[in-house]
């Protein structure tokens, strides 16, 4: 009998993360209806062994062949489930009904995909916690937006269009029948947003599923933060025409804002040490400068090989 859900995991050196994720998946109420598939980018730790011990079907590829979109597309091509659940290896479901809550919106007419609410782990450092909680995916309720015809979507202002096309592959679910017609574009970043644009252009909708809580966070170094936020800003400039940080004045405002919010957050957080603020200037400075670089189009090309028309915008 075919499984109801296919859980799809791209992995690399994820043994420590999987030690938390795999037991949480096995505790899901829908686990008996799931298959677990992984594509591992030639890990040098026990990732593949842990996955196989958990019953996963594992394909190993050279690390150089990994791509955010194409690796997930290859995973989906192996799947037998009616619903495809894409998870990052370092995510942890917030409870045994996580999968059920994540796939529930797919029962609605014309809903092609859903994505989870993302909250930090209990043991994350204060600056990482604030970064996660400030993201739109951390909110407790879905935004209320008036319906818009697909033909009108690309006439909306960039910031509004961005809100309507929000999607997050940290923890997402899609209808298999739709996905086999509309795969992720093979882009270097933002395949989830780009996919949302594709399905919207085809008349489908995506939904935020706040009842499905996923714990996930990255503790960035300044150099990692710069590159992460540069790519994000470049993506939104190219696809949505939306400049996250267009001027040096906005950079100054951004750094002041981030440092002030860090100070307020740490001061109000029980048990948080103000020593964590010592890394705030370098971290937030790199973050905001990365947004400037991406908004200005500085640095390496964002589109080294991909045809921009493939992301669904037609731009």
Domains assigned to the chain: 5-215 (3.90.550.10), 222-302 (no CATH)
- What confidence tens digit (pLDDT) does each residue in 169-216 have? 999 999 999 999 999 998 877 899 889 989 988 989 999 999 999 999
Residue 301 pLDDT level (bands cut at 50, 70, 90): low
* Angle subtended at Cα 186 by Cα 37 and Cα 157, rounded to the nearest 5 degrees: 115
pLDDT of residue 308: 43
Question: Phi/psi at 116 (nearest 5 deg)?
Answer: -85, 160
Cβ atoms of 209 and 104 within 8 Å: the answer is: yes
pLDDT of residue 23: 98
- What confidence tens digit (pLDDT) does each residue in 224-277 have? 999 999 988 998 888 778 899 999 999 999 999 999 999 999 999 888 889 999
Distance CA 6, CA 33 (A): 9
DSSP, res 270: T
**CA-only gyration radius of the chain, Å:** 19
Cβ atoms of 105 and 142 within 8 Å: the answer is: no
In angstroms, how far is CA 273 from the centroid of its own chain?
29
Query: Hey, which residues does 92 pair with through a beta bridge?
Result: 215
Count of other CB atoms within 10 angstroms of residue 167: 24
Specify the DSSP element, H or E, that contains 83. Answer: strand 83-87
Sheet holding 92-93, edge to edge: 57-60, 34-40, 5-11, 83-87, 171-175, 111-119, 205-215, 92-93
Average pLDDT over residues 102-122: 96
Distance CA 106, CA 90 (A): 24
Distance CA 163, CA 190 (A): 14
């Amino acid at each position: 009998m075919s499984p109801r859900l296919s859980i799809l995991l791209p992995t690399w050196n994820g043994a420590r993360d999987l030690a938390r994720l795999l037991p949480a998946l096995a505790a899901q109420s829908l686990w008996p209806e799931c298959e677990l598939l992984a594509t591992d980018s030639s890990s040098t730790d026990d990732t593949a062994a842990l996955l196989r011990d958990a019953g996963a079907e594992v394909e190993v590829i050279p690390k150089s062949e990994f791509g955010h979109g194409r690796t997930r597309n290859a995973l989906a091509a192996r799947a037998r489930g009616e619903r495809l659940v894409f998870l990052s290896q370092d995510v942890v479901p917030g409870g045994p009904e996580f999968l059920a809550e994540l796939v529930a919106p797919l029962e609605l007419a014309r809903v092609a995909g859903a994505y989870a609410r993302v909250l930090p782990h209990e043991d994350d450092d204060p600056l990482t916690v604030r970064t996660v909680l400030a993201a739109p995916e951390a909110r407790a309720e879905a935004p209320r937006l008036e319906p818009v015809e697909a033909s009108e979507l690309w006439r909306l202002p960039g910031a509004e269009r961005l809100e309507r096309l929000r999607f997050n592959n940290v923890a997402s679910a899609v209808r298999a029948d739709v996905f086999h017609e509309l795969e992720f574009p093979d882009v270097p970043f933002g395949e989830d947003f780009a996919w949302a644009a594709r399905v919207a252009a085809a008349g489908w909708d995506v939904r935020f599923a706040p009842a499905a809580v996923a714990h996930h966070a990255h503790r960035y170094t300044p150099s990692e933060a710069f590159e992460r936020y540069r790519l994000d800003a470049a993506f939104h400039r190219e696809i949505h025409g939306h400049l996250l940080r267009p001027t040096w004045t906005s950079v100054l405002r951004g750094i002041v804002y981030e440092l002030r919010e860090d100070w307020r957050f740490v001061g109000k957080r029980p048990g948080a040490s103000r020593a964590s603020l010592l890394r705030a200037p370098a971290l937030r400075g790199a973050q905001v400068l990365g947004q400037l670089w991406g908004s200005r189009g500085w640095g390496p090309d964002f589109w080294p090989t991909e045809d921009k028309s493939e992301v669904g915008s037609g731009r």
